[in-house]
Amino acid sequence: MKQIAIRPHSALCYIFAAFALCSPAVSQTPDFYKGKNISIIVSTDSGTGYDLYARTIARHWARHIPGQPSIVAQNMAGAGGLRAANLLYSVSSNDGLTLGMVQSTVPYEPLYENKQATFDPLKFNWLGTPGQETSTMIVWQTVPVHSIDEARKRGLTLGATGAASTPAFYARVINTLIGVPINVIAGYKNQNEIFLAMERGENDGSAATFYSTMKANKPDWLSEKKIRILLQYGRAPNPELKDVPFALDLIKDPQDRQVMELAAAPLAVGRPLVAPPGVPAERVNLLRSSLMSTFDDPQYRADCLKQAIDCDSALSGQAITEILEMSYQSPEVIRKRLLQIYVGKPR
């Protein structure tokens, strides 16, 4: 067997590598952020749930980064988050000063063969997410539908920003796998416009509204029962929605269940924070560890509680990477089924 000579200094570095004591790059990382500015590019408009989370994180993250840089959230909406993701992947500097928070569906766009997605999601450096999400299908209080069975019989007219938007996509998923006839009205500028139209009676509701967003931005809808939640879907049932049917429980066909699991996978990554490809590994590790420390910070959690946003199911960047890898390893027949739904073709 070939023997490898290890110099004393190298051996010492090997022993203490986990503590980052020897690599010159690692030793310089704590000083790198001192006096610097970090930008978090948020791929939605201001005032959205993503924007709220990004700005909340920005207020507390710097305390956990050596050098305590200033952190500012900047909005770059467009193309369902692809504008920001494409920029982060191909244009942004890879020094760890330009980061992003993108919609949970963004890393799945290449899976759906979306040609506007000019990035490889597995080459991004995923840093973590403040929480996993539960998505809901809601209708306004005046809509004469109180259950999924009634929705199957009557059908629904639901709002969406575009034909390929997340609400439109999940409307097609629910139609195909759960059997609810849904007419999608597309063309609203954002979710707030969909909500206003729902209140005016122009549509019945939405197929994809984060429960956390409603709790933070529309708490009166829940307390005063202005909306009905007909369905929930995500990685697992939300314990706060015990009386709301969970999508997987309504699907009996094994292949259909796999399709639903893959369709709901983005909800597991929540509101992911990401760094461009090429950021030095030790800097990525520092950003990941400091972000997870932020998620455990009592001041951060108190801030979340004050704003009524969920911060109790954070995931690490490594966990997000593993979820994406599993999704991209899904059987081709399942991916093709989901692709047919994504592009609006019948089964």
Q: Are 338 and 255 in contact (CB under 8 A)?
A: no
Would you say residue 108 lies in a domain?
A: yes
> Is pLDDT at 5 greater than 80 in this prediction?
no
% of the chain surpassing 90 pLDDT = 82
Length of the chain: 347
Q: Could you tell me if 310 and 228 lie in one domain?
A: no
> What pLDDT, in 10s, does the model give residues 64-115?
999 999 999 999 998 889 999 999 999 999 999 999 999 999 999 999 999 9
- The rounded distance, in Å, linking the Cα atoms of 159 and 208 is 10
Query: What is the bridge-based pairing of β-strands 227-234 and 70-75?
Result: unpaired
Do 256 and 300 have their domain in common?
no
Q: Mapping DSSP to helix (H, G, I), strand (E, B) and coil, where does residue 3 land?
A: coil
**Cα–Cα distance measured from residue 211 to residue 116, given in angstroms and rounded to the nearest whole number:** 29
Residues 167, 156 share a domain: yes
Same domain membership, residue 183 and residue 90: no
Cite the DSSP H helix spans in the chain: 8-15, 24-32, 49-61, 82-90, 148-154, 166-178, 191-200, 211-217, 219-223, 254-268, 281-295, 298-307, 317-328, 332-342
* Distance spanning both ends of the chain, measured CA to CA: 58
**54: in domain:** yes
Looking at 248, 267, 286, the residue that finishes a domain is 267
Q: What is the pLDDT of residues 199-214, one digit of tens each?
A: 999 999 999 999 988 9
104 and 166 in a single domain? The answer is no
Residue 346 within a domain: no
Under the banding of pLDDT at 50, 70 and 90, the label for residue 223 is: very high
Residue pair 296/241 in contact by the 8 Å Cβ criterion: no
Does residue 229 sit in the same domain as residue 290? no
Which of 14-23, 33-42, 249-258, 264-273 shows the lowest per-residue confidence on average (mean pLDDT)? 14-23
Condensed to tens digits (0 to 9), the pLDDT of residues 280-321 reads 999 999 999 999 999 999 999 999 999 988 899 999 999 999
CATH of the domain at 227: 3.40.190.10
pLDDT digits (tens, 9 = 90+) for 11-51: 333 333 333 333 333 334 668 999 999 999 999 989 888 99
Q: Is residue 39 part of a domain?
A: yes
Q: Predicted confidence band at 345 (pLDDT cuts at 50, 70, 90)?
A: low
> Of the candidates 204, 214, 144, 151, which has an alpha carbon nearest to the alpha carbon of residue 178?
151
pLDDT for the residue numbered 29: 62
Q: Which two tokens stand for residue 7?
A: 């110099």
Say yes or no: 178 and 239 in one domain. yes
Asked if residue 233 and residue 85 are part of one domain, the reply reads no
- Residue 5 located in a structural domain: no
Which residues have C-beta within 8 Å of that of residue 128, sequence separation ≥ 6? Answer: 272, 273, 288, 291, 292, 295, 314, 315, 316, 317, 320
Between the CA of residue 75 and those of 45, 52, 105, what are the distances in Å?
A: 6, 11, 17
Q: Which of 245, 267, 289 is the last residue of a domain?
A: 267
Domain that holds residue 181: 134-267
